[in-house]
Homo-oligomer: A and B are copies of this chain.
Amino acid sequence: MDMRDIAKVAGVSSATVSRVINGSNLVRPATAERVRRVIDELKFVPNGSATTLKYGRSSTYGLIIPDITNPFFPEFIRSFESILVEHNQDMLMATTDFHPSKMQETIRRMLVRKVDGVALLAAEIETEPIEALIHHRVPLVTMDRRLIAPGLSDVAIDNTSGMNQAVEHLKQLRHSKIGYIGGSAGLTISDHRVQAFVKAMHLAGLEVDPAFIRVGNYRITGGESAMTELLALKHRPTALLTANDLTAIGALRVVHKNGLSVPRDFSIIGFDDIELSDIVYPPLTTIRLPRHELAEVFFKALESSGKDPHAVGKQYAVKTSLVVRDSTGPAQKGKLAALGITGR
């Protein structure tokens, strides 16, 4: 069943049916009403592929993420999808599982589907698949690559704001030996985050011990092994920042497994503020990366690029901020120090 069938029944031409469906104002209200009635009657649904073919736009945005199992992403997706639906766009989601070949495949699918833009939250090392998108004039918005070009925008995570607050928070709790467990090596997003940590330490006038800086994988397992290493040190940190909450949770588990207590023996700060961070014991102090705002910025960036695909994209930023819960406490240095901070 197509518009012509509707037209026949309603006694009009297919052009009129099309106009009614698209809310054109050059149809007599009575005619429009009649057509609409037939559409309802016959439960007609227009064929989107025909529209896409004619128009060149598919009303679909692609979303590429590395790992849907990391709770950060579902929380992002929820917001992103609801914004898309509000704007009559569909979402074509794909997971890379950190495999460059999957990324390749994925981007091809997006090109075939003629997506109107791609939100790339999978910060892979590869630039080749990205170039394919640019080449085909598909607006692309990346996360924290800090690189813009024609058709390529970027949303930076302003790690600095949150990291500074976090380090300052720990300093006030009399911590000075602060460690950091980062994300996977080789990702720009990981680099930016450690750098923000180091800068925050300097800003606070604290020294960074290179032995206290470890690499993780954005998953619980990474936090666990890095924390195991840290605890094996003869000279240990008393507090820890992490590249994300899962890493922090992994660290937390290892601390507990070693019979130590958080925050009494060790303070831990996460990053992201996923729902889970309020559920673990103790609830995590963490640096909040507002998911809904992130989704909004991504959407705005995509829309804006879509209007003029030849223009150079924009650099956006999303601020982060500290959320204090129960995984941070005064440094263990005897009672004096512990009492000292209470008044602060």
Report which A residues bind B (CB closer than 8 A): 43, 45-50, 52-53, 58, 68-69, 71, 73-75, 77-78, 81-82, 85, 90-95, 97, 102, 105, 108-109, 111-114, 132, 135-136, 220, 249, 253, 256, 275-276, 279-281
Contacts and interface: CB of A to CB of B under 8 A. Distances in A.
B43 A49 contact: no
B69 A78 contact: yes
A43 B275 CA distance: 43
Contact of A45 (B50, B92, B136, B220): B136
B81 A48 contact: no
Nearest to A95: B81
Contact of A93 (B49, B58, B91, B253): B91
A45 B108 contact: yes
A43 B132 contact: yes
Taken together, the copies of this chain in the complex come to: 2
Interface centre among A69, A108, A256 (most CB of B within 10 A): A69
B95 A78 contact: yes
Contacts of A112: 45-48
20 contacts: A43-B132, A45-B112, A46-B112, A47-B112, A48-B113, A49-B50, A49-B53, A50-B53, A68-B74, A68-B77, A73-B74, A81-B93, A81-B94, A81-B95, A85-B105, A90-B92, A90-B109, A91-B94, A220-B279, A256-B281
A245 B312 CA distance: 47
B78 A114 contact: no
A47 B43 contact: no
Contacts of A50: 49, 53
A68 B71 CA distance: 9
A6 B237 CA distance: 63
Contact of A68 (B45, B52, B78): B78
Contacts of A77: 68
Contacts of A68: 74, 77-78, 81
A91 B94 CA distance: 8
A188 B58 CA distance: 36
Nearest to A109: B90
A73 B49 CA distance: 29
Contacts of A73: 74
